[in-house]
Structure 1
Amino acid sequence: MNLEEVILEESVTKWVLLSFFLLLGSTCSAATGDWALYTSVAKINDILAGERCIWAATDGGVVRFCPEENSSTIYTRLDGLTGNRVLCIASDSRGNLWFGTDGDGLTRFTPGRGFTRLKHFIGYRVNSLCFQNDSTLYVATDVGISLFLTEKDEIKETYHQFGIFPRDTEVFCVKVVGTDLWAGTATGAACAPIFQPSGVRSNLQDPNSWSSILFGKEVYSI
């Protein structure tokens, strides 16, 4: 499957789920004590389908819909999110959900424990999240891609330039495809091998490690 087919398949899936959530969007609210906080979830930025529930990242928080229970819940800052404008979602094999926001950093949701606010990426737009494994998370922001070590709760390094693209290019999407790391930008895509043939991790901070593909248009999904 080539890059164009991968983009098309993922886009179709997201648009089907997006259409459903647009019907749901105007009816969600979050209750707090005797008060009800209404936020607009009509603009959906990302969708993740779990085993039992569907999650949506919206401009008004996170929406969870469970079809078998016919129930929906909206989560906001009052419930533990770092910010209400949530741009992306990713999950690890342990069942944790990770949310990236517009300027308010990362939030982790652990089933049975709730939300944990993380101190990283405050002031940056977190556009996309992709796990290489449970301890390695790639975070696409408005200034590049960061390698975040989840078990150590630290940013190991950040990649600011991808081949011929300008430094601090905004990355709209990041994805691990096979053994390569892909980045989607405003004018095309870039890819680099995560490891060298010897098994040593590639120096992705070096712009020359990346191959650039100019499409002349935005790449939001890979």
Structure 2
Amino acid sequence: MGTEVPPETPPVLPVDAGTPPDGDAGTAPDAGEPGDAGTPDAGEPPDAGPWPTDAVLDYTRAFGVGRPRSVGLDEGLNLWLLDGDRIGVLRPGDTVPTWTTGVGQARLPFGRDSLAIDSTVICGGEAGRAYVGYRAAEMKKDPRIRQRTYIPWPGEDFYTPERFAEYQKGDLDAVRLQSDGSVVLEEHIWRTTGSSNEGRKIGIHNTNDFHYEEDRSVLNCARVTRGPYRGDLYITTNHGVTRIQGLTYNSHRHPGWYLITTDEDGNESESLQCPPMYGLGIAPNGDVLVANEQMLGVLVPSPKLEEWDREKTWEGPTPWRFKGFNEVLNGQAADDFWRAFEQTTSGRYYLGSKEFGLWAMTPKSRSAGNWSKLTGLPAKGVLALAATDDGALYIGTDGAGLWRLEPDGTTLARVPQVSGQSVLQLVYEPTVKPSMLLVLTDQGLTVLRGP
């Protein structure tokens, strides 16, 4: 592990680098009727926080953060940066970030047969902690084993050391900020709520049966910033959405469907379709919004982490408020390439597609919606969305920069102060006043205050 420390190190802050803003954490999620967004209630933020309150500020120029591939804020408002095998932290009071290389899954060179192919996303956690996601290659088929993702434990039939090593690839690291601004590995996430997994330090895998290595690549992440579940982390993977509290996870949920096929002898078989999941958002009332390449869903979380994966569709402790697909755009088996999913304060849902633009949806039942495509965007690709407390929706396009849709749902305009053509990520932090919107583009990081 190597650490790059600024030549003129600013005054060292405590490891937690600040404390979460005080205030009313909010009320429990309202199960309500489909489309009922509830009302944001995070209390009155006490102050503006430690960062500049300029309406628009280019952090790449002002603080030298470069052009990272992912950014995040923790509860102490430390700014985390991810760039390949490097993790950077810009603490309140710093003039430039401190970068650390070779932490956790990045301790070996990236590659298909290494611990990871590449890093993907970073999200803040409690003050001084962040979570780093990685991508792993799809497991090779073992002809002796029926399920591609099944890995035998030592002493079981068909065990091999090579296949067992697949448990350690990809997944998620929890990392910690040190007093000098550097970063160390806290733990490669492995603790879970399932009894079959107890004591098995083999990364993230199926909670109900550890043999199934289904969540190997982390594709998106989001920290809950208010409400009773503030601090919870959600990650989407190649298979579904996983909930994390501290260092403990419960994996996973997915809005899948069954494909029925018939072989040449007329025998029917069915297989569960769960494509990679990129779309992830937290609704104003705390619902979890997820979208894979073909389907989308709205989940109502319960207070108990162990109940996250209890699939009873419309019933049970963690029901689907909505689960369906955009029948106006494509058939069930066709990819819609969803990359972002948000709900505005009006209650309307918005989904961004890498290939098919921005779509608005209001449910007409639990599994079907009224869909309409937003016109006026000059780019067909939407990579990121952020719904803000003023009722607006920020739209990160692939090729036409950042756009803002006003609360009326029709007035659309580009945000010219943000440089860059492709918006890679939008991170909204409402716990400070004015609020912060982190806009990561192909030209670097810009922060808007007050949306």
Give TM class, smaller chain.
Answer: 0.5 to 0.7
Aligned residue number for residue 129 of structure 2:
96
Select which of 100, 108, 126 maps to 1:75.
100
Structure with more relative contact order (C-alpha pairs < 8 Å, separation 6 or more): 2
Deviation of the 1:24 alpha carbon: 4.7
Q: 1:221 to 1:19 in 2, by over 3 A?
A: farther
Aligned residue number for residue 292 of structure 2:
185
Equivalent residues of 1:92, 1:134 under 8 A apart: no
Select which of 48, 56, 59 maps to 2:72.
48
Q: 1:87 to 1:190 in 2, by over 3 A?
A: same
TM-score after normalising by structure 2: 0.34
Give unpaired runs (5+ residues) of structure 1: 4-15, 26-41
Equivalent residues of 1:163, 1:211 under 8 A apart: no
Aligned residue number for residue 324 of structure 2:
212
Question: Does residue 1:105 correspond to 2:212, yes or no?
Answer: no
Question: Does residue 1:169 correspond to 2:275, yes or no?
Answer: yes
Equivalent residues of 1:188, 1:219 under 8 A apart: no
Equivalent residues of 1:171, 1:184 under 8 A apart: yes
Matched residues in 2 for 1:211 and 1:186: separation?
13
Matched residues in 1 for 2:231 and 2:132: separation?
16
Equivalent residues of 1:162, 1:190 under 8 A apart: no
Name the aligned partner's letter for residue 129 of structure 2: N
Deviation of the 1:147 alpha carbon: 2.9
Aligned residue number for residue 31 of structure 1:
none
Deviation of the 1:64 alpha carbon: 2.5
- Per-residue CA deviations over 1:36-69 (Å, capped at 9, x if unaligned) read xxxxxx561x211455643222234222235743
Q: 1:20 to 1:184 in 2, by over 3 A?
A: farther
- Per-residue CA deviations over 1:84-131 (Å, capped at 9, x if unaligned) read 732222223444211111232211123338322314238711112234
Matched residues in 1 for 2:77 and 2:129: separation?
14
Secondary structure of 1:172's match? Answer: strand
Aligned length: 185
Percentage of identical aligned residues:
10
Q: 1:202 to 1:52 in 2, by over 3 A?
A: closer
The worse-fitting range, judged by mean Cα deviation, of 138-147 and 80-89 is 80-89
Matched residues in 1 for 2:88 and 2:341: separation?
21
Select which of 101, 116, 121 maps to 2:186.
116
Secondary structure of 1:82's match? Answer: helix
Q: 1:136 to 1:162 in 2, by over 3 A?
A: farther
Aligned residue number for residue 359 of structure 2:
none
- Per-residue CA deviations over 1:159-196 (Å, capped at 9, x if unaligned) read 13347896222111433322311113234632122249
Q: 1:100 to 1:202 in 2, by over 3 A?
A: closer
Equivalent residues of 1:17, 1:47 under 8 A apart: no
Equivalent residues of 2:80, 2:123 under 8 A apart: no
Name the aligned partner's letter for residue 117 of structure 1: E
Q: Which has the larger share of helix?
A: 1
Secondary structure of 1:220's match? Answer: strand
Aligned residue number for residue 86 of structure 1:
119
- Per-residue CA deviations over 1:65-84 (Å, capped at 9, x if unaligned) read 3574322222222xx23227
- Per-residue CA deviations over 1:123-174 (Å, capped at 9, x if unaligned) read 71111223453774322101111233435x3x43311334789622211143
Q: 1:89 to 1:115 in 2, by over 3 A?
A: same
Matched residues in 1 for 2:309 and 2:104: separation?
33
Select which of 17, 20, 43 maps to 2:60.
20
Name the aligned partner's letter for residue 121 of structure 1: I
Q: Give the RMSD, CA atoms, in angstroms.
A: 4.1
Aligned residue number for residue 234 of structure 2:
138
Name the aligned partner's letter for residue 91 of structure 1: G
Equivalent residues of 2:119, 2:134 under 8 A apart: yes
Aligned residue number for residue 430 of structure 2:
none
Q: Which has the larger share of strand?
A: 1
Name the aligned partner's letter for residue 192 of structure 1: L
Give unpaired runs (5+ residues) of structure 2: 1-35, 38-55, 111-117, 137-169, 189-201, 206-214, 260-271, 315-319, 330-335, 343-451
Select which of 86, 96, 99 maps to 1:61.
86
